[in-house]
Structure 1
Amino acid sequence: MYRKLCFGLFAVALLQGCATYVEHKLSSRVEPLGIPANMPEVIADLGGEQRQFCMPYLDGCTQYLYAPPITDVNKRNFEFTAVGENTTQEYKLSLNRQQIPEARRGTMVMLHGYGGSKETMFFLAEYYRFLGFHVVIPDLKGHGGSSHEQPGFAVDDVAMITTLINSLPARERPHPLFITGFSMGALAAVHVARQRNDISGLVLLAPMRQFEDAVYEVSKITHEQTSKIVSEKSIREGVQKTLMKRDIDPATLDLHQVLPPVKVPTLILASNVDNVAPFEYFKTLESRYVNVKEIPERHHFLMAIIDPKMHEHLYPWLQRRR
């Protein structure tokens, strides 16, 4: 009996420790995804500028990328190769000025997902630039070039994003103003739109589902071995503790709760094989303002990569917003 009791207490302590570990990881500066060392040079060669934006009243600084539209070329090829453990997938799209007959005018603010950075969105930014957009891509709190040590979990990023937008000269952020958000960045995009009255459209790529579910599904992808040791219950408890300590209501991280009140044209692109952001989960959000389209057989972390299928949905939708 005594041995059983000790084992039971040990198991409880272990589970609590696992939940604390999850909370610690979520509350710490995010470990960056692998980005090529020469990426800053590549971005500079393509006409992008890395800048610093400081907000004294928000107690920190962040870096962001700015790039103007591409208007001096008649053709652009977009190529990306994703190398996995067992497969290699190539994404290719070629566009010319006959297909894109007139350059748009406007600004696209782009928000990366949890674990990403401004650089991870630049491939898609090149597509937007060819369409005629100015692009602005900040590092969110706790990521990349942000001075904050804790992530903002979308809701705490809003003040920084909207202040950055307001700080840009009019020539660098002409209207109409759009926001593209990937994964957690999609939730941040919606919260920014809730606080501004000048957003003309939202593009949500694989938007994060309910936070507990999303963290659990991502952990199975990015920490496969650890997820076999740390139980689902511990992961969910760690998420709950994190949000409680940050005083963040879980409902503010649920797209089904925060998007319907936003009367802004919205395009959601999601994959049928993405457990972090499954297409079927968002299909019920279809409405007068919201279009939900499927990108088949696409891994979650590749949902910000442009290809013919994504262009087929994205370009006509943007054209209707002119």
Structure 2
Amino acid sequence: MNGFPLSRILNRRFFFGSFGAGIIACSGFGWIGSEKFVVPNRRALEPRHEAALKAPEEFGFELSEAYSVTAGDGIALSCRLISPAKHPGAAVKTRRMRQRLGAGTSVRSTVVMLHGRGGIKEDAFPVAERFVAAGFRCLIFDARAHGVSGGDFTTYGAKEVGDLRAVLDDAETRFGHETLGPFVGFGISLGAAVLLQALPEEPRLRSAVVVAPFADLPTVAQRSVANVIHPAMPRFLTGMVTTVGGIRAGFSPELISPVESAARIRVPVMVAHGDRDRVIPMAEGRRVFEALPENGINRWRPVPGGRHGDVLAVGNDDLYQEMIEFWIANLGSN
């Protein structure tokens, strides 16, 4: 028989057919996985949020009307300013924190608060209840692709750093320095990672507290995919997810490295992390802390028993008091 034997032809067809099917399957996995990677679920307001919106003075604070800030690429960011209530109601957490801090503790400063992935600005309400006890105002906003802000994709800091700058620029114009005082920063999870990336280039932030930050995006992405799909997920598949996600969202995931940014920060930073965090292990936060330049002021604060979703609740008033006192002590640091 001339030419190739039939068995060889069939084997080649099987090989190339299987190879093609594998490519299609991997591409499909990359696209579906990228959806989870760069498209957060948008949460609606919960009853606890509605209660604070309806009667904020019962929680120790006053709220500005929601307003919009336009980011550099044109998307709208939904913001509010929280201020200490002039005539607080029950305000149980606020009164308790004020008692812990001692009489006469009152500062003129504003905490800009960055929520985590899948969060909304209203998640800040129970945190702000404690911060207003010391006189802090709190500037809150929905990150891009979250809450009622615009945008379809999260970029883990690539675009969010500019968003933060736009929010600060607008607040200074809208409310004035006499009202706001100096800024300090608070971020949790994704918000912590964004804040770390912003700090080297944002001189308006006097100090910062970051809770449960990741050190670099490729590492946390590998862990997240493994947790969601399978612990033995090959790295090349995770790389496909992040690459496709980066192309869709217009950023380079491999360049997102809060730990590298940490080495260039020149203001005091407190890093808090739960020792039972399985989403972003405490070792990630420790890497960030150890990358900070030595200044004798930075603080490492492990939270025994704290997991990713409950680290603030587990740390409770002890942790909140430490954060507040850290900011107050460093308002004049730079």
TM-score normalised by the chain length of structure 2: 0.78
Alpha-carbon offset, residue 158 of structure 1:
2.3
Alpha-carbon offset, residue 128 of structure 1:
1.0
1:50 & 1:304 partners in 2: Cα distance? Answer: 27
Partner of 1:21: 32
- Work out whether 1:176 is the aligned partner of 2:182: yes
Larger mean CA deviation between 95-104 and 180-189 belongs to: 95-104
Change (3 A) 1:229 1:292: closer
Matches within 5 A, 1:52-67: 52-55=67-70, 58-67=73-82
1:114 & 1:98 partners in 2: Cα distance? Answer: 31
Partner of 1:201: 207
Deviations 1:71-99 (A, max 9, x none): 655985349xxxxxxxxxxxxx9434363
Larger mean CA deviation between 181-190 and 288-297 belongs to: 288-297
Return the match for 2:217 from 197, 211, 214. 211
Partner of 2:276: 273
Deviations 1:47-76 (A, max 9, x none): 223412142863121211211124655985
Identity %: 14
Q: Name the SS of the counterpart of 1:186 in structure 2.
A: helix
CA contact (8 A) 2:69 2:166 kept: no
Return the match for 2:99 from 94, 97, 100. 97
2:113 & 2:269 partners in 1: Cα distance? Answer: 14
CA contact (8 A) 2:98 2:133 kept: no
Alpha-carbon offset, residue 281 of structure 1:
2.9
Return the match for 1:290 from 298, 310, 313. 298
1:20 & 1:243 partners in 2: Cα distance? Answer: 11
1:110 & 1:66 partners in 2: Cα distance? Answer: 10
Q: What amino acid does structure 2 have at the position aligned with 1:276?
A: V
Larger mean CA deviation between 130-139 and 241-250 belongs to: 241-250
Change (3 A) 1:198 1:104: same
Change (3 A) 1:271 1:173: farther
Alpha-carbon offset, residue 142 of structure 1:
0.7
Partner of 1:85: none
Q: Which has the larger radius of gyration?
A: 2
Alpha-carbon offset, residue 27 of structure 1:
3.7
Matches within 5 A, 1:1-322: 1=11, 6-7=17-18, 9-28=20-39, 30-33=40-43, 35-37=45-47, 39-46=49-56, 47-55=62-70, 58-70=73-85, 72=87, 76-78=91-93, 94-97=96-99, 99-101=101-103, 102-168=105-171, 169-170=175-176, 174-219=180-225, 224=228, 227-228=229-230, 231-233=233-235, 234-244=237-247, 246=249, 248-250=251-253, 252-283=255-286, 284-285=290-291, 287-288=294-295, 290-305=298-313, 307-311=316-320, 313-322=322-331
Alpha-carbon offset, residue 172 of structure 1:
7.4
**Greater helix percent: which structure?**
2
Deviations 1:185-237 (A, max 9, x none): 1122123323322210111110123212323434566xx4xx14993532332
Alpha-carbon offset, residue 125 of structure 1:
1.5
Q: Name the SS of the counterpart of 2:84 in structure 1.
A: coil
Alpha-carbon offset, residue 244 of structure 1:
4.8
1:3 & 1:198 partners in 2: Cα distance? Answer: 63
Q: What amino acid does structure 2 have at the position aligned with 1:207?
A: P
Deviations 1:151-182 (A, max 9, x none): 24222022222222222222675222101111
CA contact (8 A) 1:141 1:150 kept: yes
Change (3 A) 1:38 1:304: closer
CA contact (8 A) 2:226 2:232 kept: no
CA contact (8 A) 2:155 2:251 kept: no
Q: What amino acid does structure 1 have at the position aligned with 2:53?
A: I
CA contact (8 A) 1:53 1:164 kept: no
1:125 & 1:150 partners in 2: Cα distance? Answer: 27
TM-score normalised by the chain length of structure 1: 0.81
**Greater strand percent: which structure?**
1
Alpha-carbon offset, residue 111 of structure 1:
0.5
Uncovered stretches (5+) of structure 1, i.e. residues with no partner: 80-92
CA contact (8 A) 1:216 1:235 kept: yes
1:155 & 1:310 partners in 2: Cα distance? Answer: 30
2:206 & 2:324 partners in 1: Cα distance? Answer: 15
